[in-house]
A and B are shown apart, each in its own frame.
Chain A
Amino acid sequence: MSNKSDQPSVERRQFIGGTLAAAGALTLAPGVILHAAGSADKTTSGASGEHRWGMLIDANKCADGCSACVDACNSEHGLTDLGRPETDAVWIRPVKLKDKQTGHVDRLVMMCQHCEHPPCVDVCPTNASFKRIDGVVLVDRHRCIGCRYCMMACPYKARSFVHEALSEQSVAAPRGKGCVEGCTLCVHRIDAGEMQTACQEACTREGHNAIVFGDMKDPDSEISRILKSHNSVQIRADLELNTGVRYLNL
């Protein structure tokens, strides 16, 4: 794995150390050899192109004054409110749209739309902004230089920039100053096989059921069945980004 030729090999060190230790052990417990007791291999196989994770939001069911999904997202990912709304990170935000002519108000939540053709990925100079094979659009903070091109390219204003040094981040969402971030579709849950995002969980718990999360490639999933039977829309469908987040009754 590594090629650090300026240093003596680890094997040599181990041999010397091991020989000494073995000589010591021999006198104490001859014939006793310790074997590795099969440590369970918990490595997951990772994201698969057989899925495309998506979300469906029913604008009719999104309740006025409710912020359960936002709170759940904040606590899941350790997004702390620093009392500076201009710079605080927001991964999901409630939006109200009022038709001035009729007075009709639409409520919905806006977050990263997990586009099939994400503009943020197109513009990223370091390949930090990327789309996983299962359709989740993420920021690789190991590569992000904080240039914020993606924030400007995103038609949905879905990304935030971390302006301040952080500590005590969630282990589910390592994040830090100088990087851009956004909704991850709770990718840590997906990878763990839990098919429910934090926002959906909270919305269901509140009894609104406005958010459905699932696999858009699986014809039997709830999201696929609703998308087939109902007329859903993509926001800014004219951009032909083929978003992974769709809306009902908008």
Chain B
Amino acid sequence: MRSSLISNRLLMILLAVLSFAAMQAFAESRYVTENSQAASMESCVAPTDLMRRNHMDFLQHGRDDTVRDGVRGLKYSLAECIDCHASRDAKGQAVSVTAEGEFCQACHGYVAVSPACFQCHRTTPDESGSGKSLGYRLDGHSRALDMQQPAGR
């Protein structure tokens, strides 16, 4: 009786530890492609959960401000998404974010949406330098972003 109690307790503790580790791993899991600038950063311009769910709204809101009112350098910029999230192949060439398994395509394919962004917007970082005068943050956003946003923000 006594020995089974101990083993039950041990089992419970073991389960708790394991599930805690699993949940923590889930909470910190990354959804970026290897060899992209994003892979070396702690978070996107906003917390990952927020970006994952709302990036389309952020971009849709910002596009009118930029195209119609000329407001540039917004926090949410499609050009910056691509600069940061495009991965690089073995030769250092940027891979299209809409290529099979790449950052944009992988998720859009999974949820079966086909956004029209890339009919007009390029899918690799523009390295010709023509965007340098745009006020776009080609150097990527600040690397010292929050690692953890305080709750309630």
CA distance A194 to B137 in the complex (A): 16
Instruction: Tell whether A123 is near chain B: CB-to-CB under 8 Å.
Output: no
Interface centre among B71, B130, B141 (most CB of A within 10 A): B130
Q: In chain A between 175 and 208, which residues have their CB closer than 8 angstroms to a CB of chain B?
A: 175-179, 187-194
Specify which chain A residues have a CB less than 8 angstroms from the CB of B133 in the assembled complex. 172, 188-189, 192, 194
- Name the interface size band of chain A: 35 or more
Contacts of A134 in B (CB 8 A): 70
Question: A99 to nearest B CB, angstroms?
Answer: 40
Q: Are A47 and B20 in contact (CB under 8 A)?
A: no
Are A47 and B145 in contact, with the CB atoms below 8 A?
Answer: no
A21 touches B (CB below 8 Å): yes
Q: Are B120 and A191 in contact (CB under 8 A)?
A: no
C-alpha gap A43/B70 in the complex (Å):
10
Q: Are A168's CB and B53's CB within 8 A?
A: no
Chain B proximity of A96: nearest CB distance (Å): 30
Residue of B nearest to A179 (CB): B120
Q: Give the complex CA separation of A162 and B148 in angstroms.
A: 45
Q: Are A22 and B73 in contact (CB under 8 A)?
A: no
B94 to chain A, nearest CB (A): 11
A169 to B130, CA, bound (A): 10
Which residues in chain B, 22-55, are within 8 Å of chain A measured between CB atoms? 23-24, 27-28, 47, 49-50, 53-54
A223 at the interface (CB under 8 A from B): no
Q: Does chain B have a CB within 8 A of A101?
A: no
In the bound assembly, the distance between CA atoms of A176 and B121 in angstroms comes to: 8
Smallest CB–CB gap between B85 and chain A, Å? 15
Nearest CB in chain B: distance from A39 CB, A: 4
Could you tell me if B135 and A39 are in contact, using CB atoms closer than 8 angstroms?
no
Q: Are A191 and B124 in contact (CB under 8 A)?
A: no
- Interface bracket on B: 35 or more
Q: With A169-B121, A191-B134, A192-B72 as given contacts, are A40 and B64 in contact (CB-CB < 8 Å)?
A: no
Task: Say whether B75 faces chain A, with CB atoms less than 8 Å apart.
Answer: yes
A34 touches B148 (CB 8 A): yes
Bound form: Cα–Cα A209–B119 in Å: 37
Query: Is there a chain A Cβ closer than 8 Å to B57's Cβ?
Result: yes
Measured CB to CB, the nearest residue on chain A to B57 is A2
Binds B, one of A11-19, A108-116, A149-157: A11-19
Q: Please indicate the chain A residues that have their CB under 8 angstroms from the CB of B136 in the complex.
A: 171
Q: Known A1-B57, A14-B49; judge A168-B124 contact (CB<8 A).
A: yes
B89 within 8 A of A: no
Interface residues of B in 105-153 (CB under 8 A from A): 119-124, 126, 128, 130-131, 133-137, 141-142, 144-149, 151-152
Are A11 and B152 touching (Cβ within 8 A)? yes
Residues of chain A contacted by B79 (CB below 8 angstroms): 171
Interface residue from B23, B65, B120 paired with A175 (Cβ < 8 Å): B120
Q: Known A-B contacts: A169-B121, A188-B131, A190-B70. Give 7 more (CB < 8 A).
A: A2-B54, A10-B54, A11-B151, A23-B20, A168-B122, A179-B120, A189-B133
Task: For the complex of A and B, list the 7 residue pairs with the smallest distance between their C-beta atoms, beginning with the closest.
Answer: A176-B120, A37-B144, A171-B131, A47-B70, A42-B73, A39-B142, A171-B126
